[in-house]
């Protein structure tokens, strides 16, 4: 009785193993090539084509890539054999350093624009202050020297604004 149980288990194990091997083979087997089917019809023969050159077909055109700047390839946008169009990106080079330089230049531009705006606001404020000081100097409340100093300060601030514009 014990031998028949062992025998049964062995046969069951072999059947399960065979089924698993077949399932793995069935899933991983190469797919058959796609073919185009044509319907045969009666008609006149207009041209006869004979394939006398059996073998491998190779591309008649090849393009060698030579980017203007070298670098490490980060991403390939196309694979070998893909059709590409004019202007389509083929690959992307590592450019984090250039992107950082661009961001730095953008921020420096923003800073320069803010400084120019600040200089022009200060020039406008100095001009108004010079006008008020001149009015006070005309009435004798401040010395004429104070009016001249305020006008000189206003001209200097305006020159700074013009230089940054």
Q: What is the pLDDT of residue 78?
A: 86
Residue 36 pLDDT grade (very low, low, confident, very high; cuts 50, 70, 90): confident
pLDDT of res. 85: 86
141 belongs to a structural domain = yes
What average pLDDT does this structure show over 98-124? Answer: 93
- Quote the pLDDT of residue 133: 93
In a domain, 149, yes or no: yes
Q: What confidence score (pLDDT) does residue 7 get?
A: 86
Structural domain including 146 reads 113-164
Give percent of the chain above pLDDT 70.
Answer: 90
Domains: count for the chain: 1
| CA–CA gap between residue 40 and residue 43 (Å, rounded) | 9
pLDDT band at 6; cut points 50, 70, 90:
confident
Q: Is residue 6 part of a domain?
A: no
Q: Is the pLDDT of residue 24 over 70?
A: yes
């Amino acid at each position: 009785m014990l031998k028949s149980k062992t025998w049964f288990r062995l046969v069951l194990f072999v059947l399960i193993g065979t089924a698993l091997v077949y399932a793995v083979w069935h899933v991983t087997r190469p797919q058959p090539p796609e073919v185009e089917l044509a319907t045969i019809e009666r008609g006149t023969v207009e041209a006869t084509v004979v394939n006398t050159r059996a073998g491998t077909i190779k591309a008649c055109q090849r393009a060698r890539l030579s980017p203007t700047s070298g670098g490490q390839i980060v991403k390939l946008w196309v694979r070998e054999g893909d059709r590409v169009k004019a202007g389509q990106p083929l690959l992307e080079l590592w450019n984090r350093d250039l992107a950082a330089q661009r961001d730095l230049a953008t921020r420096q531009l923003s800073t320069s624009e803010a400084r120019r705006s600040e200089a022009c606001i200060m020039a406008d404020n100095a001009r108004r202050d010079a006008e008020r000081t001149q009015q006070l100097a005309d009435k004798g409340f401040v010395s004429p020297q104070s009016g001249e100093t305020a006008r000189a300060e206003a001209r200097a601030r305006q020159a700074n604004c013009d230089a940054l514009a």
